[in-house]
Structure 1
């Protein structure tokens, strides 16, 4: 993963968090709640719904919906290379003796 891809993934996490915070703050204007746990749950709910909605719209409708997550393209991760098979080597000096035949 490149530094840019790392930045993109981080940025696309920060934007929904900020939107969730703002939505929770606006909800407190209209809802008289003093409970810290309810505020935390509201923020987590707003973040989850916001991120899920715009990821769905980005993938299914139009990639431009990615701008609502901060950048118009998701990070691209290169595929992991497949490891080459290693030849099996036998240790003639094994403390357990020679392998059974």
Structure 2
């Protein structure tokens, strides 16, 4: 059963933590890339930044969807988009190893 008061707030906080984690991850990518500025390192940072933007858009859509009285579940497109952003960030981090 859905708790109309706390559940949307918990989900909102979870999406915010996720986007914050992405910001920290991209910042660490940038810091590592600036230590040795090579073309693959700069490519990894830019790809990571685009992954963060994709996650931010997905999170904002989901948060807006939670504001409705009866929020819908995440669609397959949002789930796959979120998964793609996470995988892209993992690959970007792997490029710097």
**Shared fold per TM-score greater than 0.5:** no
Please say which structure displays the higher CA radius of gyration: 1
Structure with greater proportional helix content: 2
Bucket of the pairwise TM-score, normalised by the shorter protein: 0.3 to 0.5
Give the TM-score normalised by the residue count of structure 2. 0.38
